[in-house]
Amino acid sequence: MKKDIKLGIGFATGRKSFQTILKTNIYNWRECGLTDKENITLNLFVAYDLKYSNTRASDYTNMNQKLLDLIDGTCFIGSGLLQREIEELHSNGILSKAETKLFFTSGYAAKRNSILYFALKNHMDYLIFLDDDEYPMAVTNSRTTALWGGQHVLMTHLRHIGNADITYGHHCGYISPIPQIAFDATLTEGDFQLFIEAISNDIVHWEKVKAVMENGGVTYADKGILITEAAEEVKEINGAKFISGSNLCINMTTPARVHPFYNPPKARGEDTFLSTCLSENKVLRVPCYTFHDAFSFYRPLMNGVLPISLQKINTDSAAVVTRFYKACIGWIRYKPLLLYITNPDQYDVKIAEMRKKLSSTLPKICKYFNNSDFMKVFDELDYYHLNVQAHHRDFIATQQIWIKLTKYLTT
C-alpha cells in the first residue's frame, strides 16, 4: 500500500439522516484501524442538497467533535462555496457560465462532479463514494434467520485501488425497486418481462430480476464473496464496464485517467454513463458489501438492532408502487442516450422495439397497479428520444469540461 495516502470519502446527500449514517461509517473506519494509521489521511467531502428533503446546512456541517477528531479534513460543498468556486473559474477564463452550469449545477451528476472537483483540488490520491442510504454491513440468509456481518469497505478498496483505475464493491439489501408480484391474467410473467426489457439496461437481466422478486425484493450477500480477498476484473459489455455509483473508488493519482459523471436533465444513470467511458480503464470489482436500505426500513441498524428477517416488498404498499413508478421513469429517461452511445447503428431499431413492448404492456401495468400514471413512461420515452442528440452533446461537453478543469488544477 502506498505511503502517505490522501483518501477522500464523498457523500452526495440530501437526507436528514446523514449524520447518523456518517457516525456509523466513521466508527467503522475506527474499528478497522484506518483512523489510527499515520500514513493515511481521511478527508470527508459532502455535497449537500437542501431542497431534497427540506434540510438546513447545519444538518450536514454540525458534526460531533468526537467524530471530527477521528478524521483529518472536511469539505462541505454547499451553494456558497460552489458559487465562489464558479466565479473564480469564470474570472480566470477557465469555463464559461454555460459550462459551469452544465458541470456543477445540472442534476444528480453535478453533486458527484463537485466532489470530484474538490477532491482533485485538494490533491486526493483516491476518492471513495458512499451513499447516505447504505450501511457498511452485509446480510446473508440461512434457513431460519438473517445473518449480519460488518464490512471494512474503505480498507478493501485501499487494498486493490493501487492496481486499478476504479474499484467498486457489491450491494445487498433492497437494491432493486421492483416489488414482488403475484402474476395473474391481468399481468402475466411474460408481460412483465417484456416491460422490464423495454426500460432497463444491459446488466438488468430478466432471470436476475425474477430471482430478486421471488426473494421478496431482497438481495442477500454471496457467502463466497464474503470469504474471499480476490478482486475480479470487470469486462466490457456492449460498450460499457458497468459500475455502481456508491461503494465506488476512483484512483486520482493520474487525473488524465479520471472521468466525470453525467446524466440527462431530470434523469439518473450517472454511474451508467460513467461506465461507458471506461473502455481504456482497468476496473475491478472488490469483495466488500454495503447494505442498501432503499425504503428506510432499517435505520435501527445504525443503533445496533439486527433484524432476524427482512420484510418482503409487496405491491399492496402505495409507497412501494410509487417508488417503482419513479424508478421506471428514471430508467426510461436515460435509456435513449445509453442506446445512442453504446449502439448508435441500431439506435432507431432499438427505440422501435421499446415502443412496441411498451405499447403492449403499459396498459396492463396500469391496470395491475391501478395507477394510470405508468402511461407517462411512453411520454418520457418520446421526450428523451427527441432530445437524445442534445443530451449526447452535453455528455461529450461534460468530458471536455473535465479535461479543462484537470489541466487548471494540476498545472
Question: In this model, does residue 202 exceed pLDDT 90?
Answer: no
Question: In this model, does residue 3 exceed pLDDT 80?
Answer: no
Distance CA 181, CA 294 (A): 18
Banded model confidence at residue 345, pLDDT cuts 50, 70, 90: very high
Average pLDDT over residues 104-115: 91
Distance CA 313, CA 195 (A): 19
Banded model confidence at residue 215, pLDDT cuts 50, 70, 90: confident
- Quick: pLDDT tens for 363-410: 999 999 999 999 999 999 999 999 999 999 999 999 999 999 999 999
- Quick: pLDDT tens for 113-158: 999 999 999 999 999 999 999 999 999 988 789 999 999 999 999 9
- Quick: pLDDT tens for 155-184: 999 999 999 999 999 999 998 888 889 999
Question: Strand pairing of 166-173 and 283-292?
Answer: parallel
- Quick: pLDDT tens for 231-270: 999 999 989 999 999 999 999 999 999 999 999 999 989 9
Average pLDDT over residues 297-310: 90
Mean pLDDT of the chain: 94
Indicate the domain borders of the chain.
5-410
Question: In this model, does residue 102 exceed pLDDT 70?
Answer: yes
Average pLDDT over residues 299-308: 91
Helix, strand or coil, per DSSP, at residue 334 = helix
Banded model confidence at residue 203, pLDDT cuts 50, 70, 90: low
Max CA distance (Å), the chain: 65
Distance CA 122, CA 104 (A): 17
Cα dist from 258 to 20, 110, 252, whole Å: 31, 16, 7
pLDDT for the residue numbered 52? 85
The most confident of the ranges 102-106, 278-282, 292-296, 302-306 is 278-282
Banded model confidence at residue 314, pLDDT cuts 50, 70, 90: confident
Banded model confidence at residue 1, pLDDT cuts 50, 70, 90: very low
Question: Strand pairing of 166-173 and 248-251?
Answer: antiparallel
pLDDT for the residue numbered 209? 86
Cα pseudo-dihedral 259, 265, 267, 268, rounded to 10: 20
CATH number of 5-410: 3.90.550
Average pLDDT over residues 290-314: 90
Closest CA to 222 of 137, 310, 138: 138
Average pLDDT over residues 194-200: 92
Banded model confidence at residue 296, pLDDT cuts 50, 70, 90: confident
